[in-house]
């Protein structure tokens, strides 16, 4: 699998590349090592690492919630019904195809039997 990064909007696209399609050197950058790319980009844009780290933490949280749903024996449809939403909305949430509000994450956690608690009761300065 190769990683393609659109150089215009910096959004990664993950997927197989066709052997007949050559990357456009103006709009796409092929990279074989995502960690190396993150390091290089973070040198020029320090906020980029923070964005990547936040995305990783969010994905890990969602995966823990999905695992809890499985342990609870619930389907996406069960969760959707209990949350008052649709199964496709739950699929988008679980697949990382949405950026849900905190209240949505909390409702999902409650439905699967978890209680989200902050790691610290105090806010740290940025």
Would you call 29 helix, strand, or coil by DSSP?
A: strand
Q: Answer whether 0.85 is exceeded by the pTM.
A: no
> Could you give the angle at which helices 34-44 and 46-71 cross, rounded to 10 degrees?
140
If one compares 51 and 7, the residue with the highest pLDDT of the two is 51
Closest alpha carbon to 59 in 86, 91, 90, 99: 99
The pLDDT value given to residue 6: 37
Closest alpha carbon to 97 in 107, 106, 88: 88
Share above pLDDT 90 across residues of the chain, in percent, rounded to a whole number: 40
C-alpha distances in Å from residue 53, one per residue of 25, 57, 82: 27, 6, 31
Task: Please state which architecture CATH assigns to domain 49-111.
Answer: Orthogonal Bundle (1.10)
pLDDT band at 126; cut points 50, 70, 90? low
pLDDT band at 67; cut points 50, 70, 90? very high
Q: Is beta strand 12-15 parallel, antiparallel or unpaired with respect to 28-31?
A: unpaired
- Residue ranges matching CATH 1.10.260.40 in the chain: 49-111
The pLDDT value given to residue 44: 87
Q: Containing H/E element for 54? A: helix 46-71
pLDDT at 15 over 50: no
Q: Which of 23-27, 67-71, 84-88, 105-109 is predicted least confidently?
A: 23-27
Output DSSP code: residue 3.
Answer: E
C-alpha distances in Å from residue 99, one per residue of 8, 72, 76: 21, 24, 18
């Amino acid at each position: 699998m190769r990683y393609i990064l659109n150089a215009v909007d910096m959004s990664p696209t993950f997927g197989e590349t066709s052997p007949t399609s050559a990357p456009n050197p103006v709009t796409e950058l092929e990279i074989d090592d995502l960690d190396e790319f993150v390091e290089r980009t973070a040198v020029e844009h320090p906020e980029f690492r923070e964005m990547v780290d936040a995305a990783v933490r969010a994905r890990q949280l969602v995966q823990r919630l999905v695992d809890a749903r499985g342990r609870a024996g619930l389907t996406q449809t069960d969760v959707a019904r209990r949350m008052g939403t649709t199964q496709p909305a739950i699929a988008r949430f679980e697949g990382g195809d949405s950026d849900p509000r905190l209240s949505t994450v909390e409702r999902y956690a409650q439905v699967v039997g978890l209680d989200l608690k902050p790691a610290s009761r105090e806010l740290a300065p940025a």
